[in-house]
C-alpha cells in the first residue's frame, strides 16, 4: 500500500521547524529517521498532510558529556550511540542501542524520534527510565525540561504540544559502584521484543544493594517501574533469594496483553526471568566486570 498524499518541507533550524508546525496545522508531522512513521504511513494508519524534515538542523545530532551528564541530541542515530565512546560509559544504553532491530534501522532511526513516538513496544522508554533522564523540548515559548517519567503519558502519547520538538535527552552519569543492563527477548532482529527489562543498581561492600531501579518494557501501555521489586533489593545483599523475590515482584507488576508475540501469562513469566538475569549482570558490572548483554532471540 502507498502513503496518502502529503507535502514535504525541509527545516533549517528549530525555529523554522516550529513555525512550519504552526502554519501547517495539526495534521503536519516531523520526520527524522522515519523508522516508526513511514511504515504507519504506508499502511495508512498515519495520514499526515505534511512532513517537516528536521535532519538538516545540525545542532540536534551531537553526543556530548558535560560534567556529570550525557547529552544525546534528538537526531542521534541508534548506531551513533552504539559506537560512541560516550555511550559506552553507560553500558545499559549500549545494550539498548546495539540490539534495536537490524543494522539498517539502527543506522537510520533516531533516539529522539523513537522516544517521541512513545510506542509501548519501543526500547528507549524502558532503558532511559532506568536512569535519571530529562527530555529537552523546544516550542514557541522557548525551551523546557521534562523528567522522562512525566514525558510519556500513555501509549503513543506524550506531553509534547503539536508545535513542540524534542531536541535532546540529558542523562545523569551513574555514580561509582553502579551498574546496569538492558535485556530484551524477541523472535528475530527486525521485530519488537516480546518483553524487556532494564535494571540499574548501586552496590557497596561488594554485594550490598544501596539502590536499584527496575523498569519493565512491552508488558503494559507504557514502561512500568517495578517499585516493589526495587524495594526487595534495596538495603539487602544481592543473593539468590533476594533476587528471586525481586523477580517475583516484577512479574506481579507486569500488565501484559496477549497478542501475536505471546500470551499474557507467558510474557509475565518472561519478564520476571529477564529481570533476574539483568540484576545479575548489573551487579557484576557494578563490581567492575565486563559483561556482554543485550537482546536475546528465540532459538539461540
Residue 297 confidence (pLDDT): 84
From 213, 219, 220, select the one nearest 181 (Cα to Cα): 213
Could you give the CA distance from residue 173 to residue 117 in angstroms, rounded to a whole number?
25
DSSP 8-state symbol, 154? E
Task: Establish if 1 belongs to a structural domain.
Answer: no
Residue 34 forms part of a structural domain: yes
Under 8 Å between Cβ of 137 and 160 = yes
Domain that holds residue 42: 7-52
Decide: helix, strand or coil at residue 10: strand
Q: What mean pLDDT comes out for the span 13-34? A: 96
Q: Based on the structure, what is the number of domains in the chain?
A: 3
Q: Mind listing the pLDDT tens digit for each residue in 126-159?
A: 999 999 999 999 999 999 999 999 999 999 999 9
CA distance 269 to 251: 6
Based on the fold, state whether residues 167 and 182 are members of the same structural domain. no
The answer to the question of residue 2 being in a domain is: no
Q: 59-104 pLDDT, tens per residue? A: 999 999 998 999 999 999 999 999 999 888 999 999 999 999 889 9
Chosen domain end from 150, 172, 194: 172
Do 210 and 291 share a domain, yes or no? yes
Strand partners, 147: 134
Q: Which domain-ending residue is among 172, 203, 223?
A: 172
Looking at residue 93, which CATH number applies to its domain? 3.30.465.10
pLDDT at 29: 96
- In this structure, the answer to whether residues 33 and 102 fall within a common structural domain is no
- Give the count of beta carbons closer than 10 Å to the beta carbon of residue 176: 8
Average pLDDT over residues 46-54: 95
| pTM of structure | 0.95
Amino acid at each position: 500500500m502507498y502513503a496518502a498524499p502529503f507535502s514535504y518541507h525541509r527545516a533549517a533550524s528549530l525555529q523554522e521547524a516550529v513555525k512550519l508546525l504552526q502554519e501547517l496545522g495539526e495534521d503536519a508531522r516531523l520526520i527524522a529517521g522515519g523508522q516508526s512513521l513511514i511504515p504507519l504511513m504506508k499502511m495508512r494508519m498515519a495520514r499526515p498532510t505534511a512532513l517537516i524534515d528536521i535532519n538538516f538542523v545540525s545542532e540536534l545530532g551531537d553526543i556530548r558529556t558535560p560534567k556529570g551528564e550525557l547529552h544525546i541530541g534528538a537526531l542521534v542515530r541508534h548506531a551513533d550511540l552504539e559506537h560512541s565512546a560516550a555511550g559506552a560509559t553507560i553500558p545499559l544504553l549500549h545494550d539498548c542501542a546495539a540490539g534495536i532491530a537490524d543494522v539498517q534501522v539502527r543506522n537510520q532511526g533516531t533516539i529522539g524520534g523513537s522516544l517521541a513516538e512513545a510506542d509501548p513496544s519501543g526500547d528507549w522508554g524502558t532503558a532511559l527510565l532506568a536512569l535519571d533522564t530529562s527530555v529537552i523540548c523546544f516550542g514557541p515559548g522557548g525551551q523546557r525540561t521534562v523528567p522522562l517519567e512525566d514525558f510519556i503519558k500513555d501509549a503513543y502519547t506524550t506531553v509534547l504540544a503539536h508545535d513542540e520538538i524534542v531536541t535532546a535527552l540529558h542523562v545523569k552519569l551513574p555514580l561509582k559502584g553502579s551498574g546496569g543492563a538492558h535485556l530484551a527477548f524477541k523472535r528475530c532482529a527486525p521485530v519488537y521484543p516480546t518483553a524487556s527489562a532494564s535494571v540499574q543498581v548501586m552496590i557497596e561492600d561488594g554485594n550490598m544493594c544501596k539502590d536499584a531501579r527496575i523498569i519493565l518494557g512491552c508488558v503494559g501501555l507504557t514502561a512500568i517501574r517495578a517499585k516493589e521489586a526495587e524495594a526487595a533489593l534495596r538495603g539487602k545483599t544481592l543473593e539468590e533469594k533476594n533476587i528471586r523475590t525481586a523477580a517475583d515482584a516484577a512479574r506481579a507488576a507486569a500488565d501484559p496483553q496477549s497478542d501475536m508475540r505471546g500470551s499474557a501469562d507467558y510474557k509475565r513469566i518472561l519478564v520476571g526471568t529477564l529481570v533476574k538475569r539483568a540484576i545479575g549482570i548489573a551487579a557484576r558490572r557494578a563490581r567492575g566486570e565486563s559483561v556482554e548483554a543485550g537482546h536475546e532471540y528465540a532459538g539461540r
